[in-house]
Structure 1
Amino acid sequence: MSEHDPAATLHTPIARPVAEPATDASGRAARVQLMIFDVDGVLTDGRLYFGPQGEMLKAFDTLDGHGVKLLRGAGVQTAIITGRSSQIVASRARELAIDHVFQGVHDKTAAFAELLAATGIAAADTGYMGDDWPDLAVMLKAGFAAVPANAHVELLRRAHFVASARGGYGAVREVCDLILRARGYYDVLLDHACGGAA
């Protein structure tokens, strides 16, 4: 399955349409200008695979990847904040043209503050998706907090949106689709993908 970059084929910028009427989750999602993702358990299924030489392997979902790319077509910046460091993550982030990548982070709130300062985006206009306790502090600062279905119970209790899918199995795509719908871009991008025959 290919992950075609929709932003590369849009010849003219898409003017932001009027967002759909909002529930609490979609209302918060409509404000998102910067969507931040944890990696393990969010962009992956959380399992760590080690090769015979001790190399770490991770598996990513192509539906999730295309959803991240679609956010660019809606003018939403993307970021990763993760506690581990991995060349695999760096490569995946480049492939998806993720705007900001923070790896090997021990204090995610400090990385979050640095990200806000660098982008000039207010915390209320950010989204964060995590799955376990190290994500809680940033998740509670972001305007929109999302989790996969198998996130730790304490995150499930505090999230604005709980995906029906597990981490690494389409949960990120659900969040991307929600943001696109809330911001009024989903149908526009779908029509473009259908060649104007949606």
Structure 2
Amino acid sequence: MAVSALTATERASRVRLMIFDVDGVLTDGSLMFTANGDTMKSFNSMDGHGLKLLQRAGIETAIITGRRSGIVASRAEELKITHVHQGIEDKLTAFARLLKETGIPPEDCGYMGDDWPDLAVMLRCGFVAAPANAHPEVIARAHWVSEARGGHGAVREVCDALLRAQHRYEAMLAAACGAAHE
């Protein structure tokens, strides 16, 4: 008898560590430069709140990105993302280091990426997500694809999907509604 493949929801229900690329995922992928050569990036506040919700639910969050940026370090600190790997050419090595740091096996990890440099890690994670505007090769290998584009709520969508798959979404929403009325 053949073993059936896990659904995206079943895969999401196992995630204990969710890893994100930055450019094209947490941002829209645009790189803006000042006259002095400084890089600027724009982040979506709803994406940030989604990351905080994951952390509240006990899901660790991490960043593995090819570029190095003080802006990313500041945003990660603000969001209390403790596992931040920047300037990474070999994302697979950073992923192995992250697994060692956390003790979480790859099948309990999720990854959201948008382009070829993300594929090596994505193919080793139990749950793989992509923004709507990811490269077609990434979308073809993803278990779950957002309706939103990178930097425009895609991260929040995957955070909500993880919380729903782990049966935590409704309780967290109810708590937020109760807190709003106090």
- In the superposition, the TM-score normalised over structure 2's length comes to 0.94
**Hey, what's the Cα distance between the residues in 2 that align with 1:43 and 1:196?**
28
What residue is the counterpart of 1:152 in the other structure? 135
2:88 counterpart SS class: coil
Match of 1:31 among 6, 11, 14: 14
The CA deviation at 1:197 is 8.2
What residue is the counterpart of 2:3 in the other structure? none
**Hey, what's the Cα distance between the residues in 1 that align with 2:57 and 2:9?**
15
Which consecutive residues of structure 2, in runs of 5 or more, have no partner in the other structure?
Answer: 1-5
- The residue correspondences of 1:106-121 to structure 2 (distance < 5 A) are 106-121=89-104
Q: Assess if the C-alpha contact under 8 Å between 1:191 and 1:197 holds in 2.
A: no
**Hey, what's the Cα distance between the residues in 2 that align with 1:127 and 1:133?**
17
Task: Give the AA of the match of 2:44.
Answer: D
Match of 2:105 among 106, 114, 122: 122
1:185 and 2:142 equivalent?
A: no
- The residue correspondences of 1:1-198 to structure 2 (distance < 5 A) are 24-195=7-178
What residue is the counterpart of 1:9 in the other structure? none
Which consecutive residues of structure 1, in runs of 5 or more, have no partner in the other structure?
Answer: 1-22
The CA deviation at 1:196 is 6.3
Q: Which 4+ stretches in 1 moved above 6 angstroms?
A: none
Task: Give the AA of the match of 2:41.
Answer: K
User: CA 1:162–1:52 in 2, change beyond 3 Å: closer, same or farther?
Assistant: same
CA RMSD in angstroms, aligned pairs only: 1.3
Identical aligned pairs, as a percentage?
64
**Hey, what's the Cα distance between the residues in 1 that align with 2:21 and 2:139?**
15
User: CA 1:158–1:57 in 2, change beyond 3 Å: closer, same or farther?
Assistant: same
2:173 counterpart SS class: helix
**Hey, what's the Cα distance between the residues in 2 that align with 1:121 and 1:195?**
33
1:42 counterpart SS class: coil
2:35 counterpart SS class: coil
